[in-house]
Amino acid sequence: MAILDRIRRIAKGNITQWLNQVETPEAEVLAKITELEGASTEAKNALAGFAVTYKRLEKNLVSLRESRDDLSARAESALKAGDEVSARRALAEKIKTDERIQNLEPVLTSRKETYDELKENLVEIQDQLNQARAYMMDLRARKRAAEAEKSMGRQLDNLRSPGEFVFDRLEDEVLETESQVEIEREMRGEFRPHDPTAERRDIKVDAEMAALKAKISGGGAKSE
């Protein structure tokens, strides 16, 4: 049957190897999950259908075996009672029943094998489905983590850049204000920029002034 072949093929697939051989995209994993869900549903329906036919056939065989044993006992009782005709009739029915049993037993065996295989395939498919779903959860978790990290990076960039511009503008404003204050002080004569060269020049002037005064003072003393 096509459905059984499909279920058998999917159940024998190596989901672990398929998931690990490449970095499987989310779309492919979703498609695989959909396929496995469909196969799981088909396997359950097929298993339920086979369960009905298998159980019915099994019950029918039990009834036939009981009937065969009953016919055998009736034939024996009729023969003991001297009723050979009834005994032969019971034995004929017993043989027919035995033939039906022999015909149905291989069918029951085949049905049981298919039923057991379907159960095993359903378990395999369900395991694959669980693996695929777990992989999808991991994939989405990794994706959310990456997106969160990316978003956080953008937020930090957004916070960092405007902040830098704000501090730059604030510093410019402070420098501008300080410059205005210095200019106003200079205009009022309250502030003179520090000039090391001018200080050295003043020291030299003071020294030369002192020397000049000493010279003058010494010359005045000679003229007297």
Concatenated DSSP letters for the chain?
-HHHHHHHHHHTS-HHHHHHHTT--HHHHHHHHHHHHHHHHHHHHHHHHHHHHHHHHHHHHHHHHHHHHHHHHHHHHHHHTT-HHHHHHHHHHHHHHHHHHHHHHHHHHHHHHHHHHHHHHHHHHHHHHHHHHHHHHHHHHHHHHHHHHHHHHHHHHHHHHHHHHHHHHHHHHHHHHHHHHHHHHHHHT------HHHHHHHHHHHHHHHHHHHHHHHHHHHH-
- Domains of the chain: which residue ranges? 2-155, 196-224
Specify whether the CB–CB gap between 111 and 54 falls below 8 A: yes
Q: What is the largest CA-CA distance in the chain?
A: 194
Please write the tens of the pLDDT for every residue from 194-215: 556 666 767 776 777 777 777 7
CB 75 within 8 A of CB 90: yes
End-to-end CA separation in angstroms for the chain: 148
Residues 168 and 62: beta-carbon distance below 8 Å:
no
6-10, 139-143, 184-188: which has the minimum mean pLDDT? 184-188
Q: For residue range 28-39, list pLDDT tens digits in order.
A: 878 888 888 888
Q: Are 185 and 191 in contact (CB under 8 A)?
A: yes
Both tokens of residue 128?
């694959």
Name the more confident of 111 and 165.
111
| pLDDT band with cut points at 50, 70 and 90 for residue 102 | very high
For residue range 10-55, what is the model confidence (pLDDT) as tens digits?
777 766 666 666 566 777 878 888 888 888 888 888 888 888 888 8
